[in-house]
Amino acid sequence: MWSSKDVCCVICMAVLGLVSTALIAQMAGLITGIRGANYVFTIILAVQTTISFLLYQGRRWRFFVQFSIFTLLILPTYLGGTPFAVQTRIHFVINAFIADLVINSFYKLALEHGKIRLWSILGSLMFWVLLPFFSLLIRPLFYSLEAVALFANVVFLLLPLIIVEALAGGYLGYRIFLRLRKGKLVFSIRDN
């Protein structure tokens, strides 16, 4: 059963994602007009992804629900496609489901071996590297082949940057989480 802390964390992290998307993450696509250019700001959302994984402590479906709400909230933005195009944002929900399932399955193992930092960084990396590939699988259903080819070229060109920013964002998210937890600004969801 979800506690009120769970619900509060899920909603707050989804809204934080919306705010960072509206202020920063969508700007590359808005300025250049190139689909896929928003992956230049992967680090911003990778920090939040890592903090979310650490907040939920391996508990199932919190991350999936957070990203489902986040996906609904970003519909009016340019992140993931044109505004109000639901079909082009399905990949966020699919990726969040798979990431929640896979990454949270290894939480207890990482906790037992003292590898939470590695777990959180690799979780962020997996999520942000798989996201454009799920998008590439869905886009041919809704866009022309030329548009999909252009998007694929941008994604493959930016893939090294996506990997580096996902790793850096994962590490920064871990460090920020530790700092917030040390200052008692972040609570453990399991603390009652």
**Which DSSP string corresponds to 40-86?**
GGHHHHHHHHHHHHHHHTT-TTHHHHHHHHHHHHTTTSSTTSSTT-G
In 10 A of CB 66, how many CB atoms? 26
User: Are 62 and 6 contacting, i.e. CB atoms less than 8 angstroms apart?
Assistant: yes
The whole-angstrom separation of Cα 110 and Cα 107 is 5
Residue 188 lies in a domain: no
Amino acid identity, residue 6?
D
User: Are 104 and 58 contacting, i.e. CB atoms less than 8 angstroms apart?
Assistant: yes
Count of domains for the chain: 1
Residue 151 lies in a domain: yes
Give, in order, the Cα–Cα distances in Å from 135 to each of 106, 120, 128, 130.
25, 23, 11, 9
pTM of the model: 0.91
Quote the domain boundaries for residue 9: 4-182
Residue 191 lies in a domain: no
pLDDT digit string (tens) for the chain, length 192 residues: 888 989 999 999 999 999 999 999 899 888 888 888 889 999 999 999 999 999 999 999 999 999 999 999 999 998 888 889 888 899 999 999 999 999 999 999 999 999 999 999 999 999 999 999 999 999 999 889 999 999 999 999 999 999 999 999 999 999 999 998 887 666 555 543
Residue 69 lies in a domain: yes
Residue 164 lies in a domain: yes
The whole-angstrom separation of Cα 96 and Cα 82 is 20
Give, in order, the Cα–Cα distances in Å from 78 to each of 33, 42, 75, 122, 171.
10, 14, 8, 27, 27
Residue 31 lies in a domain: yes
In 10 A of CB 40, how many CB atoms? 19
Residue 192 lies in a domain: no
pLDDT of residue 182: 84
The whole-angstrom separation of Cα 117 and Cα 101 is 19
For helices 62-73 and 90-103, angle between their N-to-C axes, nearest 10 degrees:
160
Residue 65 lies in a domain: yes
